[in-house]
Amino acid sequence: MPLMLPLVVSCGLFGLGLYAVLARRHAVMVLLGIELMLNAASLNLVAFDTWWADTVHTGQSLTLFVIALAAAEIGLGLAIVLALFRAVGNSDVDGQEPPTSLLAEGGDEL
């Protein structure tokens, strides 16, 4: 299999994931986007591992780590989404915090 194929797919996955993170309003979709980006990296790693015929299989081992990390990330992410849901009542991710004025009143000493 030519190297180009997994690379192109990985690029597509990453782009898709980034799009989801940036544009989707629903928290779960955002988490999915993150997952996609991580998997794009994993795909690359595996592909390069094969291409290099890496005897120590660095790519594969890192992929394993990435899978574990992704799980941890999603776990944490879902927990936060849950807490958010409890606090605000929906899982739309924008406008969670009303933009507060950070400029307190008071005399400007300097």
* Binding site residues, another protein, CB under 8 A: 10, 14, 17-18, 21-23, 27, 30, 34, 37-38, 40-42, 44-45, 47-49, 51-52, 54-59, 61-62, 65-66, 69, 72-73, 76-77, 79-81, 83-84, 87-88, 93-99, 101-106, 109-110
Residue whose entry in the numeric block shows the structure tokens 């507060």: 100
Q: Quote the CA–CA distance of 83 and 107 in Å, as a whole number.
A: 38
Shortest separation between residue 56's beta carbon and another protein, angstroms: 5
Shortest separation between residue 8's beta carbon and another protein, angstroms: 13
φ/ψ bin of 53: left (φ > 0), alpha (ψ from -120 to 50), beta (otherwise): left
Per the document, the length of the chain is 110
Shortest separation between residue 65's beta carbon and another protein, angstroms: 6
Closer CB to another protein, 1 or 105, in the complex: 105
Q: How far apart, in Å, are the Cα atoms of 9 and each of 42, 68, 70?
A: 11, 22, 19
